[in-house]
Amino acid sequence: MASSFTARALVKRYGSVTALDGVDVHVEDGELVGLLGPNGAGKSTLVKIGCGLVRASAGEALVCGARAGSREARSAMGYLAELFRFPGWATADELLTLHQRLAGSSGGAAERGELLDLVGLAEARRRRVEEMSKGMQQRLGIAQALVGAPRFLFLDEPTSALDPGGRRTVRRLLEELRDRGIAVLLNSHLLSEVELVCDRVAILSRGRIVAEGRPSELARPRGVEVDVDGGTRLFAGAVRDDAPRIVAELVAAGEQVYGIRVLSSTLEEIYLEAVGEEAG
Amino acid sequence: MRGVPVVVAYALRESLRRRVFLVVLVLTAGFVALYWLGANQAFATIDENEPPPAAVLAGVDDRTLTGATLFGLSMFGTLFLGAVLAAFLTLGVVRGDAERGLLQPLVVRPIGRGALLLGRFLAAAAVCALYVLVVFALNLWITWSAGNWRPDRIAEPAVQLAAAVAVIAALSLFGSIFLSSTANGIAVFMVFGAGLVAGLLGQIGEVLDSDTLARIAEVSAWALPFEALYQDGLNAITADESGFTEFALQLGPFGGAQSAGPYLWPWTAAYLIAVGGAALVAFARKDL
C-alpha cells in the first residue's frame, strides 16, 4: 500500500528548543491516523511541516510521495489549521470559490454545494463568515480543506469548537472520507473521538513518538469481569481466550452467569501511561 | 504564477469589503474640498491685490509662484494619502495575517508563496497608483479652474507620484514579513517621514550652500526612491521656469524639488526588484 504521508527522522528546533526530535510517522492511503500528545509535544509542528508552513531542521517529510511544501505535495493535500480564521466579509460560497481558484479545482458550484452539504452548511451558503458561530466556521474550515478533492488531509483539532452534535457530524464525515479512500492525519485532544474513528494512533511526547499502533494493539488486557448471583467477579490477568473456560468453571461450580466482559485498557489509559508525568 | 490574478482579485475584494476604500474616499473628499477652498482663496487674493513692487521689479510671476506652491502642496498631500493607503493595504499581509490565522489556509494552496506576495503587491500598487492619479487630476483641474494655471509638465509628475506609492507599498510589504501590523505601520511612516526630512535638509543645504547637507539629502533620496520620485515630480511642475521666479520657487516651502536625472527610473525599477527579491527570499524561509 502506498503512503500518503511519511515523516522520517524529522527534527525541528526553534533556537535552543527542540520541538521534534527524530519523529517517524506514516499514514497509508485511505488510512485515518490519530496524532495524540500533550500541549507542546510537537503535534502542530509536525502537521505544519507536512503542510509546508514550517521548515524541518533535519529529516524528511513526504506527502503523497512529494516533498512536503512542494507544489505537488500541496496539490495533493488539504489542511485545517488549529487556529485559523477566514475573512469575515466573505460568504461561505465565496470562500470556497476562492479556495477552488487557489487549488485549481474545476469542481464549480457542484463541488461547493456538495462540500457544504457534507459539513451540514447547505443552508448557510450565502451567510458571511462573521455571521457564523465558531462551530459553523470550523465546519466551513473542513469543507475548505476538502476543496479540490485532496488525497490526504491534515486536520489539526477539527472539533475543538464543536458541540456534541457537531462532533458527531465530523465523526461521520471522517468515516465518509475513509470510505472515499482519503487518508487523514487527525490531531486531536479528544481521545474518545480518536478511539472511535482512527485506524491507528501515534502518541507524541516531548518531540518523540512514544507509542504507535492500532488502539486494540496498544491496549493491554485487564482481566475478565463476570456478573454472577453474588455480584461481579473480576478474574485479573485473564484474557479473551480464557473466557469460555471461566464461564464453564463457574457453571460447573453451580453459579448462575448473567454477563461477561473482557476488559482492556482504554485509549486514555494507554495515553496517560505513554506520556507519563507530562500529561495534564 | 497562475495564482497571481486570483490573489489580486482577492486583495481587491478584501479592500472593498473591509471598507478601506470608503474611508479613504471620505478623507480624500475632505482633502480635495480644502484644496479647492485654498486654491480659490489664494488666486482671488492675487487677483485683487497688486503684486509687491519688489516682486515686479525682480520679474517674479506671482500667478506661477502661487500656482506652483499650491500644486506642490497638493502633491505632498496626495503622496501622503497614497502612502497611508499603501501602508494600510499591505502592513499586515504576512506576519499580521499569520498571527490572526488568515494566511495559513492560503499559503498551503499550490499557488506558492511567491505568487501570494506578488499578487498582494500588484493589487496594492495598482490601487494606490490609480488613487494617486485620480487625486492628482482632480487637483490639477481645481488649480486650473481657480487660477488659470497649470504645471509645465503633467504626465511626468503624475506617473512619478504613482511610482512613489508603489515603492512605499513594496517597502511596507517587505516590512510585513518581519514586523507585526502595528510595528510595521509605525516603521513605514517613520521611513516616509525620513524621506521627507531628507528632502528638507537638501533644501536647507541648497540655501546655505552646504555640500554636506546636500549630499546627505541626495543619498537619502536615492536610498528611499519614493522621495527622489517626489522631488523630481516637484521639479517637473516648474521645469520651464527661469530667473527670479525659479529662484523664488526654490526658496518656497516645497522647494525640495530636485531633478534626479536619467537614472531615476532604472534605479526605481532595480530597487523594486531588489526589495521584491529580498521579500520573496525572506518569506520563503519564514516559519508560519
User: In the predicted model, what is the mean pLDDT of residues B206-219?
Assistant: 84
Domain range for A117 is 3-217
The residue among A2, A45, A4, A3 whose CA lies nearest residue A21 is A45
Q: How far apart are CA A187 and CA B205, in angstroms?
A: 64
pLDDT, position B41? 92
- Classify residue A273: in a domain, yes or no: no
pLDDT, position A113? 95
Say yes or no: A180 and A232 in one domain.
Answer: no
B247: pLDDT confidence band, cut at 50, 70 and 90?
Answer: low
- Classify residue A277: in a domain, yes or no: no
Place of cell 516616509: B192
CB contact under 8 A, B105 and A86: yes
- Classify residue A207: in a domain, yes or no: yes
Say yes or no: A228 and A180 in one domain.
Answer: no
pLDDT tens track for B162-195: 999 999 999 999 999 999 999 999 999 999 998 8
> Does the pLDDT of residue B254 top 60, yes or no?
no
Say yes or no: A227 and A212 in one domain.
Answer: no
pLDDT, position A238? 87
**Across the beta sheet with A221-228, what order do the strands follow?**
A231-235, A221-228, A257-264
User: In the predicted model, what is the mean pLDDT of residues A245-259?
Assistant: 91
Q: How far apart are CA A42 and CA A50, in angstroms?
A: 12
B7: pLDDT confidence band, cut at 50, 70 and 90?
Answer: very high
pLDDT, position B132? 96
Q: How far is CA B133 from CA A55, A146, B11, B130, B156, in A?
A: 42, 43, 20, 5, 11
- With beta carbons less than 8 A apart as the criterion, state whether A138 and A162 touch: yes
Here the CATH number for the domain that contains residue A44 is: 3.40.50.300
Say yes or no: A175 and A235 in one domain.
Answer: no
pLDDT, position B256? 61
Distant-in-sequence, close-in-space partners of B49: CB < 8 Å, separation ≥ 6? none
Distant-in-sequence, close-in-space partners of B23: CB < 8 Å, separation ≥ 6? none
One-character DSSP codes across A60-90: EEEETTEETTSHHHHHHEEEE-SS----TTS
- Classify residue A274: in a domain, yes or no: no
pLDDT tens track for B102-133: 999 999 999 889 999 999 999 999 999 999 99
Say yes or no: A250 and A206 in one domain.
Answer: no
Say yes or no: A102 and A231 in one domain.
Answer: no
CB contact under 8 A, A79 and B105: yes
Give the gyration radius of chain B's Cα atoms: 21
* Facing residue for B10 by CB, picked from A98, A103, A104: A98
How many C-beta neighbours within 10 Å does residue A41 have? Answer: 23
* Residues above pLDDT 70, as percent of chain B: 92
* Residues above pLDDT 90, as percent of chain B: 57
pLDDT, position B245? 65
Say yes or no: A133 and A235 in one domain.
Answer: no
> Does the pLDDT of residue A175 top 80, yes or no?
yes
User: In the predicted model, what is the mean pLDDT of residues A144-169?
Assistant: 87
Closest-CA residue in chain B for A69? Answer: B108
- Classify residue A280: in a domain, yes or no: no
Q: Which of A95, A102, A140, A147 is best to mutate for the B interface (most B CBs within 10 A)?
A: A102
B243: pLDDT confidence band, cut at 50, 70 and 90?
Answer: low
Q: What is the domain count for chain B?
A: 1
- Candidate from A39-48, B10-19, B73-82, B157-166 with smallest mean pLDDT: B10-19
End-to-end CA gap in chain A? 37
pLDDT, position B5? 92
pLDDT tens track for A110-128: 999 999 998 889 999 999 9
pLDDT, position B131? 94
Say yes or no: A138 and A96 in one domain.
Answer: yes
Closest-CA residue in chain B for A72? Answer: B110
- Classify residue A186: in a domain, yes or no: yes
B60 vs A271 pLDDT, higher one: A271
pLDDT, position B218? 85
CB contact under 8 A, B287 and A87: no
**Which of A200, A217, A234 corresponds to the end of one domain?**
A217
pLDDT, position B16? 82
- Classify residue A129: in a domain, yes or no: yes
pLDDT, position A180? 87
pLDDT, position A251? 92
Q: Taking the complete model, does pTM exceed 0.90, yes or no?
A: no
- Classify residue A226: in a domain, yes or no: yes
> Does the pLDDT of residue B244 top 70, yes or no?
no
User: In the predicted model, what is the mean pLDDT of residues B250-266?
Assistant: 73
User: H-helix or E-strand containing A187?
Assistant: strand A183-187
- Candidate from A114-123, A256-265, B235-244 with smallest mean pLDDT: B235-244
CB contact under 8 A, A83 and B101: yes
Characterize A66-99 residue by residue with b for buried, 16 or more Cβ atoms within 10 angstroms of its Cβ, and e for exposed.
eebbeeebbbbbbbbbbebbbbebbbbbbbbbbb
Average pLDDT, chain B: 88
A178: pLDDT confidence band, cut at 50, 70 and 90?
Answer: confident
- Candidate from A88-97, A137-146, B206-215 with smallest mean pLDDT: B206-215
B174 vs B207 pLDDT, higher one: B174
* Residues above pLDDT 90, as percent of chain A: 57
CB contact under 8 A, A86 and B107: no
pLDDT, position A194? 84
Say yes or no: A52 and A172 in one domain.
Answer: yes
A25: pLDDT confidence band, cut at 50, 70 and 90?
Answer: very high
> Does the pLDDT of residue B239 top 70, yes or no?
yes
Say yes or no: A72 and A137 in one domain.
Answer: yes
Say yes or no: A12 and A105 in one domain.
Answer: yes
Q: How far away is chain B from the Cα of A82, in angstroms, using its nearest Cα? A: 9
* Facing residue for A74 by CB, picked from B100, B102, B110: B110
Q: Which residues of A touch B14 (CB under 8 A)?
A: 87, 89
CB contact under 8 A, B17 and A89: yes
Q: How far away is chain A from the Cα of B24, in angstroms, using its nearest Cα? A: 19
- The interface pTM score, or ipTM, of the predicted complex is 0.81
Domain range for B26 is 4-284
Characterize B140-149 residue by residue with b for buried, 16 or more Cβ atoms within 10 angstroms of its Cβ, and e for exposed.
bebbeebbeb
Say yes or no: A21 and A154 in one domain.
Answer: yes
Q: What is the domain count for chain A?
A: 2
> Does the pLDDT of residue B252 top 60, yes or no?
no
